[in-house]
């Protein structure tokens, strides 16, 4: 049975963050040490990001709210709201993005209607509420009353790949299944001024966005662009548990993202790919010969940061062109946690250079340090 990823759609909120302008705001905050100011300048300038998107309209140049919550544009001060205030904004804005992305995926899938959806899988690590987004999607998009719902929460940047794996498994168990997968991340709700280097790096990278798709064994329509979901694999690296973490604090969620992460990924990336490639000896041989870029045409790498992409490119001997979808996504949208790899896959699908039958290796990294991988084939 072939299970396909169809109707892949992405959505971002309307407020644009221009990287140098955000850098200057963070650098101007009171209480920063000289070292922190240097880290801010370096982190923002070498991030590979030009623009990001946020649900925080207060960060717009033209915003002048009577009672600012996150940013007082008149004084230039970044405020420090509590976790409850941040999560209330998550409920408001994430709900809208879940619905917009889910609706877009259904409308982009020929021959599939809302009434056909049998399962919903939602993904997020940047907020919580119940009844949750899976319930809201079922209610407001007109899905069947008996639709089965799952939420993958607080897994981090790699979570969309397990969501697609679960969707594939549901389709393999029931050939009539039509699974709607929606990832929404509002990372900017947790940005704050700090002297902590990990917090500064996170503030230079993270952004808001949503991605959604339909996973089903139904045959794509003639001419429809889609991906076959071939197989998935998971690896936990033997080191790095303390180098990437995501915890709930009194003033939002707190990211640990140490400078050791790119080196850990570079050291263990081939081992993480081995179980994915194992069923095809030619792919294993290419990996051993540092020729993975010759065996796999396209690489959907989660752009956790520019240094991570640099390590992946060098370690796997990939071409600059093979990293363009990831680098361009980072440049235009920043790191949107779990939603980001869906943006990268969308760019590959939109690329005129990707042809029917091309292989795609997807990879995302998160707490653990966990590496989630997927092998896909371009259809259409």
What are the catalytic residues? 157
Number of neighbouring beta carbons within 10 Å of residue 62: 7
Strand residue runs (E) in 110-169? 119-124, 148-153
Q: In whole angstroms, give the CA distance from residue 131 to residue 180.
A: 18
Say how many CA atoms lie within 13 Å of 136 toward its Cβ: 21
Please report which helix (H) or strand (E) contains residue 16, including its range. strand 15-18
Structure tokens at 307: 């240094």
Q: In whole angstroms, give the CA distance from residue 258 to residue 307.
A: 12
Q: Output Rg (C-alpha) for the chain, integer angstroms.
A: 20
- For tokens 């029917």, what's the residue? 356
Is the separation of the CB atoms in 98 and 133 below 8 Å? yes
Non-local CB neighbours of 95 within 8 Å, separated by 6+ positions: 133, 136
Query: Which letter does DSSP use for residue 220 in this model?
Result: P
Is the separation of the CB atoms in 295 and 282 below 8 Å? yes
Q: Helix or strand or coil: residue 319? A: coil
Cis peptide before 380 (omega within 30 of 0): no
β pairing state of 119-124 and 148-153: parallel
Please state the separation of Cα 171 from the chain's center in Å: 23
């Amino acid at each position: 049975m072939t299970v396909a990823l169809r109707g892949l759609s992405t959505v971002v909120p309307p407020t644009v963050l221009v990287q140098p302008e955000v850098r200057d705001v963070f650098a101007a905050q009171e209480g920063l040490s000289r070292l922190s100011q240097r880290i801010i300048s370096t982190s923002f300038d070498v991030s590979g990001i030009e623009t990001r998107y946020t649900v925080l309209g207060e960060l717009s140049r033209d915003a002048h709210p009577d009672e600012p919550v996150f940013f007082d544009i008149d004084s230039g001060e970044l405020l420090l709201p509590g976790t409850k205030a941040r999560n209330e904004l998550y409920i408001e804005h994430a709900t809208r993005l879940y619905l917009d992305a889910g609706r877009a995926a259904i409308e982009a899938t020929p021959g599939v209607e809302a009434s056909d959806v049998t399962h919903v899988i939602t993904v997020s690590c940047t907020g919580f509420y119940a009844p949750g987004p899976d319930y809201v999607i079922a209610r407001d998009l007109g899905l069947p009353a008996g639709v089965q719902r799952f939420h993958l929460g607080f897994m981090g940047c790699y979570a969309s790949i397990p969501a697609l794996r679960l969707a594939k498994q549901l389709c393999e168990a029931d050939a009539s299944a039509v699974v709607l997968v929606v990832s929404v991340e509002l990372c900017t709700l947790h940005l704050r001024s700090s002297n902590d280097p990990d917090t500064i790096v996170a503030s230079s990278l993270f952004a808001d966005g949503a991605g959604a798709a339909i996973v089903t064994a139904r045959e794509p329509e003639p001419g429809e662009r889609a991906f076959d979901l071939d197989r998935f694999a998971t690896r936990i690296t033997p080191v790095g548990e303390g180098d990437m973490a995501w915890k709930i604090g009194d003033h939002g969620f707190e990211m640990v993202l140490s400078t050791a992460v790119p080196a850990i990924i570079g050291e263990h990336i081939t081992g993480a790919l081995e179980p994915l490639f194992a069923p095809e000896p030619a792919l294993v041989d290419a990996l051993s010969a540092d020729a993975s870029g010759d065996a796999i045409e396209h690489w959907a790498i989660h752009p956790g940061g520019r240094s991570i992409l640099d390590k992946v490119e060098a370690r796997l001997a990939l071409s600059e062109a093979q990293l363009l979808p990831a680098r361009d996504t980072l440049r235009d949208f920043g790191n949107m946690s779990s939603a980001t790899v869906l943006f990268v896959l969308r760019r590959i699908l939109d690329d005129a250079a990707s042809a029917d039958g091309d292989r795609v290796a997807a990879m995302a990294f998160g707490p653990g340090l966990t590496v989630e991988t997927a092998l896909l084939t371009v259809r259409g």
